[in-house]
Chain A
């Protein structure tokens, strides 16, 4: 079974530029999550999708971050404009009630550096 795929793996941009990350969850997983992990900290949930609907985006900075999950499969997370404090690893995860919904499967992450 293929795991969660993310791209790009690394991205360097200047502040005020925009950037987008892509995630392809495990096939059949209805729930998809985006996390932000700042160096030295644990992951923080940004947004949770159930199929193509948003379940929780309470910690998403909506003035600059946006996310979508068209057709309930792939998802993109966008930052526009980026700030220095957005430098972090962005992790995508998916889960499925059929395999035990509590377990989340993580992708390798996208490491973002904002200069």
Chain B
């Protein structure tokens, strides 16, 4: 079973609007990461938030983490057509090494001009 589950599964918005997607997970984590995947391409790392952090910003991206609720959210502000992609959260739960990520099923975002 997958560790992270994104919500919603799909999101359709217009350019200029904000897009929010959520991720819930089951076990304790070292960090949580968000990745973007454009159609037919590999994944691109967007942002990482550690278990002792609550909020992080990167350009138009804002990520929050609530470890008590085992959930995270990704906000994309002032969306653009180029933001059309699938967004995945991935949790790092490794204890004796690093980098073992467990991905959710993703949120498919469509931004229309």
Contacts and interface: CB of A to CB of B under 8 A. Distances in A.
B44 A104 contact: no
A106 interface: yes
Given A55-B97, A103-B48, A42 B105 contact: yes
A21 interface: no
A111 B40 CA distance: 9
Contacts of A108: 41-42
Interface residues of A, number: 28
A9 B82 CA distance: 23
A44 B88 CA distance: 12
B52 interface: no
Nearest to A96: B99
Given A42-B104, A102-B48, A107 B99 contact: no
Given A42-B2, A42-B106, A106 B101 contact: no
Nearest to A92: B42
Contacts of B31: 102
Interface of A: 4, 31, 33, 40-45, 48, 50, 55-56, 91, 93, 95, 97, 100-109, 111
